[in-house]
Chains A and B, each alone.
Chain A
Amino acid sequence: MITIPYLTALTTYFSYGLLFAFGQFRDFFRNIFDWWHASNLEGYAPICLGLEDFYIRRLYLRIQDCFGRPIASAPDAWFDVVERYSNDNNKTLKRTDKISRCLNLGSYNYLGFAAADEYCTPRVIDSLCRFSASTCSTRVEGGTTTLHKELEECVANFVGKPAAVVFGMGYVTNSAILPVIIGRGGLIISDSLNHNSIVNGARGSGATIRVFQHNTPSHLEKVLREQIADGQPRTHRPWKKIIVVVEGIYSMEGELCKLPEIIAICKKYKAYVYLDEAHSIGAVGKTGRGVCELLGVDTADVDIMMGTFTKSFGSCGGYIAGSKELIQYLKYTCPAHLYATSISPPAAQQIISSIKVILGEDGSSRGAQKLARIRENSNFFRSELQKMGFEVLGDNDSPIMPIMLYNPAKIPAFSRECLKQNVAVVTVAFPATPLLLARARICISASHTKEDLLKALEVISQVGDMVGIKYFPAEPKKQQQDQQQPQPGKDTIKLD
């Protein structure tokens, strides 16, 4: 839960109201202007009606230069951001040839495999020459190579399940698996802050969807009891199947899921658990095996484990791990396996090599060093930020830390000021977060050194003072361990 002071809430509402009013005003003038000029699409309804793209035209375009910044090098700890300029008040942005070297606090590069790596890259180039960049075919036709088989065994081993199947894109993994394993007459209970791919997959399946409050096992139990007692919507017959979908680390909050309690509840009521480890696989846990290892949960208790390779392994694609029967069934029915081109062979080799490095099978201890470094870096950074008085979300050991901004004007201010001092941060606003809760999200990587982190802290502190986001008083000398939010005072309101 996030507590927001009254004054901040008031000013945020006021700012959005002002932007909305201005937007409507300009739209009104534009309608009059358009009425004078006929368009050549007579008889066709406009492709974007009325208010559908109001947010884009009037709010987003003003701060468009804070998003979608192109880079000209690998997304490592330091990278080259391409400078852009605009002649027409941010409506279109043009690239220049100038680049500025910035500290990267935005890319998902948890273990530092993003740039060319000494163990992985020669093997990747090897497999490129052997198998070429693509197999041009689906997995069930000509697209299964020896690399794909090796990859699936490797992943199943790493995650701790009997079998696994790999797809070429993480988003499609969720959207194409949920319709296959559950259909009409089933129930999906998902966390309120689940990722868009899960929401899409759940909608595409045709099952009934219910939402429980974010990370609150007691509310989950309440919803389960209600739904089991009620049965299916109109016939009141018992549900055919109940699946509870949660994520390992939530990407906008940085929180870990309360997995042991949720699994206990699901066992009691006989529901299946689907765990999406997109951000946590490879990044947390003593040997990098994800949330299950960190929280001490047996992998046999989680029925379906899903994850992606984009974040910790520096590649692309997603996987599903489960029992042998489940994976066999998926291989014969899942549309993403039957119709989509198989994962590119060099990307597959990158995953295999990075798993070997993490497990130490390449003969060095780089994997263990990386895992220890990311843990140290995240904990150090988070505690320093909290000492400075920023409102930082997330649990200990999680490499994602959102810093609350709230006010819409602070979003571009924070982003641009940091860029001027050569630190690249990511700011997130509506619609990825609720309207009032805009934030800047920092992703720590194992390739950040102590100097990089100190420089980042200095710059963020300076910009934070300038922009005014140190909502809590700074605590210079006190030791703060394992922070939840400080107790709300009398003049704050709670928001969920």
Chain B
Amino acid sequence: MLSEPPVLESAAGPHTIINGKEVVNFASANYLGFVGHDKLLESCTSALEKYGVGSCGPRGFYGTIDVHLDCEARIANFLGTHDSILYSYGLSTLFSAIPCFCKKGDIIVVDEGVHWGIQNGLYLSRSTIVYFKHNDMDSLEKTLEKITALNKRAKKLRRYIVVESVYQNSGQIAPLDKIIKLKEKYRFRVLLDETNSFGVLGRTGRGLTEYCGVPIEKIDIVTAAMGHALATEGGFCTGSARVIDHQRLSSSGYVFSASLPPYLASAAITAIDILQQNPDLTSKLKENIAILWKGLSDIRGLSIASNPESPIVFLVLEKSTGSMKSDLQLLEDIADRALKQESIFVMASKRSTLDKCPLPVGIRLFVSSAHSEFDLLKACESLKRVAAAMLR
């Protein structure tokens, strides 16, 4: 069994304190730099004084506080959809939403690199699941053809495609326009998880739909966890009115669980307000990603596996040692050394024994718009040194 994770002694902003030393933090998905932002702290403090901490009840039994309703309206307004629904935990959003709409006998086509929350939701829904190769549109098309040919007569069969916008396990970005073309040709419904692209991609931060130029009405269900760009906790799901109303009574993670603490909902509202008023946050983030990419593209022994525009920069070993366990051990040693000797905080991506994802493990860097250019260049230099020392 491996060592304990490092313990932070201050807020998880772009710089944090570990063991009394200040390090540059690349392990928090704080894309827009909202951790420690004054306005957020202010709105949280006033919400704490008014409502206390917890909400003491599920949504159906006096756990619905007016900030929840305001937050849902704000998100729906921002994205341009009809309504949205708030969940109290990011991970439970997809594994409650999927069993709500997919039952036994339905067919779901899903990318093989999706994260555990989606895998669990698919397993709980008991539908037929077909995987296609990671981010490969040809493989997707072949799979859709095969399924349509096999099920020509089934009229009441519901068919879904599940993809993530920016994959947490590899940093690739899904080509949404091609997926929409395929969806309309073969008549499938699309479920999109925008956890890592909400607030990041697109000119105003509205996510993958804006980035690819697709109107959001074409996507049937959009979900996202708010623990990344919006720097709060929880998740939301949005779509047409029918989709959202159905979830309010049949989604188990919504009905049988206490609602989101009100101060987190008010933090989400403030975060979206700030994002709308300052669109230069997304452009600063894009610049930072470009600087880091250029700096790390010639590192020896590791290669970048993610898309140049994704906020997760994913480094994998050029030559794998053979087993995932030893790969993971080597990457963790690199991360450890970077922390202790160079004061750069990065982490290797971990895998649970229950996770069925076949993609390789790697070192993940989360870029934030609050990182300065100096931080990024320092990180590149340090990682090059550590990689040269450890990987020979």
Contact = CB atoms under 8 A, between A and B. Distances in A.
B156 interface: yes
Interface in B249-279: 249-250, 252-253, 255-258, 260-261, 263-264, 267
B120 interface: yes
A72 B120 contact: no
B272 to A, nearest CB: 14
Given A133-B263, A136-B231, A142-B25, A339 B54 contact: no
Nearest to A333: B353
Interface string A424-442: 1010000000000000000
B158 A47 contact: yes
B5 A145 contact: no
B73 to A, nearest CB: 10
Nearest to A50: B156
B264 to A, nearest CB: 6
Interface string A315-334: 11000000000001000111
Interface stretch (A107-115, A387-395, A457-465): A107-115
Given A135-B8, A140-B5, A169 B35 contact: no
A144 B228 CA distance: 16
B347 A141 contact: yes
A137 B13 CA distance: 11
B92 A171 contact: yes
Interface stretch (B39-47, B129-137, B170-178, B294-302): B39-47
A48 to B, nearest CB: 6
B5 A144 contact: yes
B389 interface: no
A129 interface: yes
Interface string B152-165: 00011111000000
B386 interface: no
Q: Is the interface of B mostly helix, strand, loop or mixed?
A: loop
Contacts of B246: 47-48, 53, 56
Contact of A344 (B25, B252, B264): B264
Contacts of B41: 128-129, 132-133
Nearest to B6: A144
A53 B88 CA distance: 24
B62 A71 contact: yes
B354 A47 contact: no
A143 B116 contact: no
A328 B1 contact: yes
Interface residues of B, number: 98
A128 B43 CA distance: 11
B10 A175 contact: no
A74 B28 CA distance: 31
B210 to A, nearest CB: 23
A133 B53 CA distance: 12
A316 B89 CA distance: 10
Contact of A172 (B8, B10, B69, B91): B91
Contact of B116 (A170, A339, A346): A339
A69 B264 CA distance: 20
Interface string B218-257: 0010000101100111000000001100101110110111
A80 to B, nearest CB: 9
A335 B202 CA distance: 31
A276 to B, nearest CB: 13
A350 interface: yes
Given A133-B44, A134-B35, A144-B5, A169 B352 contact: no
B56 A136 contact: no
B117 interface: yes
A169 B264 CA distance: 14
Contacts of A114: 52, 54, 56
A142 B28 contact: yes
Contacts of A135: 8, 12, 28, 35
B149 to A, nearest CB: 16
A200 B124 contact: yes
Contact of A45 (B50, B156, B256): B156
A108 B89 contact: no
Interface of B: 1-2, 4-13, 16, 25, 27-30, 35-36, 40-41, 44-45, 48-57, 59-66, 68-69, 88-92, 95, 101, 115-117, 120, 123-124, 155-159, 187, 189, 220, 225, 227-228, 231-233, 242-243, 246, 248-250, 252-253, 255-258, 260-261, 263-264, 267, 345, 347, 350-355, 364, 366
What 10 A-B pairs have minimum CB-CB distances, sorted nearest first? A142-B27, A341-B227, A169-B89, A171-B257, A340-B91, A132-B11, A141-B347, A310-B258, A107-B56, A137-B28
Given A128-B44, A310-B56, 4 more contacts: A132-B231, A171-B253, A196-B255, A339-B352
Interface of A: 43-45, 47-49, 53, 56, 60, 67-76, 79, 81-82, 95, 104, 106-109, 113-117, 120-121, 124-125, 128-137, 139-146, 148-149, 168-172, 175-176, 179-180, 195-197, 200, 203-204, 308-311, 313-316, 328, 332-336, 338-341, 343-344, 346-347, 350, 424, 426
